[in-house]
Amino acid sequence: MALEPDSADVLPVFDLTSVLGLSLNEANPELCASIANCLHETGCLLVRDPRVPADHNDRFLDILERYFGLPVDRKMADCRPGLDYQVGVTPCGTEVPRCVVDSQMQDQLRKLKGSNRATLPTGADLKWRYMWRVGERPSVTQFPELNAEPVVPQGFPEWSSVMDGWGAALLGAATTVSGLLARGLGLGGNELQELMVQGPHLLAPTASDLDCNGRLGAVLAGYHYDLNLITVHGRSRFPGLYVWLRDGRRVAVRIPPGCLLMQAGKQLEWLTGGYIMAGMHEVVVTEATLAAVEAARGAGHSTWRISSTVFTHCASDAVLRPLGRFAEQPGSAEAYPAIKAGDQVQRELEAICLRKVTASPAAAGAGQVVRPPSPVANKTEPGAASTSGLSGTANNTPIGGVTGGLNNGSSCATGVAISAVR
């Protein structure tokens, strides 16, 4: 039986070694153009950055495995729902993937055929998450909950140094790529990097308990795009991450040693007027996942699947709008209207049940929930794996009536149905 193609088979690797220490104007224009073309055509990049050592990733995974192996009540002390879970721990059964609440995304899913199909969950994700802020934050902002102080769990004296070090390494790689990308897109070169200054960047590992949820086909993170600028993935110890290329192909993620996977988020789609679309992905339990679980058990190692993920963001008070030549494209301003990045993030968080909607006093007395108006739905090209920006918000009733919740803080979500979208 032939093995399915994976990311290392279909994506080129871009080595940043040659550009380190150079100004953007000195960078090879062919490299810049190739990075831009790859993100346009696939939504993904494989990058090699010698500043990101693999042993730092190992230390990061080790400490997160120890943390998530703690009893539930210990972890819940680090939960901050009042800050929209943007710092601290997010329990499993809290975040609802967009494909559950977004009817347009469900329609898009049904266009995926054969081996490119996704698995549609009808409830909240089985994953936990920990949000750790990376880099400087603004002293004054309209969005304080998106720029909150980090939460340091008790009993981990090395926590801050490990998290800061690994988060800064991944953020540095993404910052370099954003500069090369801007030049490759025909912008001046600094536009994306300037928007990232004091952004609410997050080292945001997910954690899935494969002792409880190690069932073939279990959806750990349902089909979704990321709401931020560029997502950076280091290597996990358990396979299961799949990405969709822009042509609709579903590809298993395999990150070569010494490399990182980067994927376009919704903010990058916004800034390019849809020239680069936010990449879709999911995490599911596969036969390869189960084989890795058995190997880990046999070696006496943790069976928590930890992702090594950084979400890079535009600064919360910065305005998202198509940049440069992308603003001149017909329909661009209507599909991607100007909006503060913080407002865009908050609306996305509401849709996936991480942010509570608010009500005005008059509306609350009438039993009505008030939500800010969503931007005009973005256009999606036929057969593309990405979908509209903020259509199908939390006003929609989720399939199966799921609205999210703490699932009693359990590591093992139960009663979550999954179905293949055909």
Residues 65-83 pLDDT 10s: 999 999 999 999 999 999 9
Model pLDDT, residue 412: 59
Model pLDDT, residue 411: 53
Contact (Cβ atoms closer than 8 angstroms) between residue 67 and residue 75 = yes
Q: Is 2 within the bounds of a domain?
A: no
Give the CATH number for residue 40.
Answer: 2.60.120.330
Q: Structural domain tally of the chain?
A: 1
Q: Is 111 within the bounds of a domain?
A: yes
* Cα–Cα distances in angstroms (integers) from residue 175 to residues 49, 83, 163, 185, in the given order: 12, 26, 18, 15
pLDDT of 96-140, one tens digit each?
998 888 888 888 888 899 999 998 887 899 999 999 999 999 999
Contact (Cβ atoms closer than 8 angstroms) between residue 92 and residue 369 = no
Q: Is 318 within the bounds of a domain?
A: yes
Q: Where are the alpha helices (DSSP H) in 149-286?
A: 159-184, 191-196, 210-213, 266-271
Q: Is 173 within the bounds of a domain?
A: yes
pLDDT of 334-351, one tens digit each?
999 999 999 999 999 999
DSSP string, 97-126: PHHHH-HHHHHHHHT--GGG--EEESS--S
Q: Is 1 within the bounds of a domain?
A: no
Domain range for residue 124? Answer: 7-417
Contact (Cβ atoms closer than 8 angstroms) between residue 106 and residue 121 = no
Pairing mode, if any, of strands 13-15 and 44-48?
parallel
Q: Under 8 Å CB-to-CB from 71, ≥6 apart: which residues?
A: none
Model pLDDT, residue 101: 86
Q: Is 188 within the bounds of a domain?
A: yes
Report the predicted TM-score, pTM, of the whole model to 2 decimal places.
0.86
Report the percentage of the chain scoring pLDDT > 90.
76
Which stretches of the chain score pLDDT less than 70? 1-3, 358-422
